[in-house]
Amino acid sequence: MNFFSVLFGKTDNSRLTEAVKNGAFLVDVRTPAEFSTGSVKGAVNIPLDSVQSQLSKFKNKKSIVVFCRSGARSSQAKGILEQTGFQNVINGGAWQNVNQVVNE
């Protein structure tokens, strides 16, 4: 396990792949400026600092995949969502990782 996996949690690609295949709600928690430079097809941009105020957008989603540049902000977003009662949240880590899974 590498340093970032220890810090931010290992991304479970089999769980991620299954969620993506089943139509997970894909959420890029980077800033709008970062999002505009490229993201995952079908993803919505809800920046980390807006997650708490945008909880209604997450309701009734079968599964939620959050991701960012490195996995740090998505780890925080996952924590916020879980603290507010969401149990179906996956930290996808870096957006490139999620993009690779989406394009498989």
Task: Tell me whether residue 104 is exposed, middle or buried, using C-beta atoms within 10 angstroms of its C-beta: 0 to 12, 13 to 18, 19 or more.
Answer: exposed
Domain count, the chain: 1
Percentage of the chain lying above the pLDDT 70 cut: 88
Quick one: pLDDT at residue 11? 54
Q: Structure tokens of 104?
A: 């498989």
Query: What's this model's pTM, rounded to 2 decimal places?
Result: 0.88
Question: What's the rounded Cα separation, in Å, for the pair 84 and 65?
Answer: 16
Catalytic residue chosen out of the listed positions 20, 46, 68, 90: 68
Which residue range(s) make up the domain with 41?
3-102
Concerning whether 92 is annotated as a catalytic residue, the answer is: no
Question: Confidence class of residue 33 from pLDDT cuts 50, 70 and 90?
Answer: very high
Is the confidence at residue 5, as pLDDT, over 80? Answer: no
Query: Contact, 15 vs 97, CB < 8 A?
Result: no
Q: The domain that contains 16 carries what CATH number?
A: 3.40.250.10
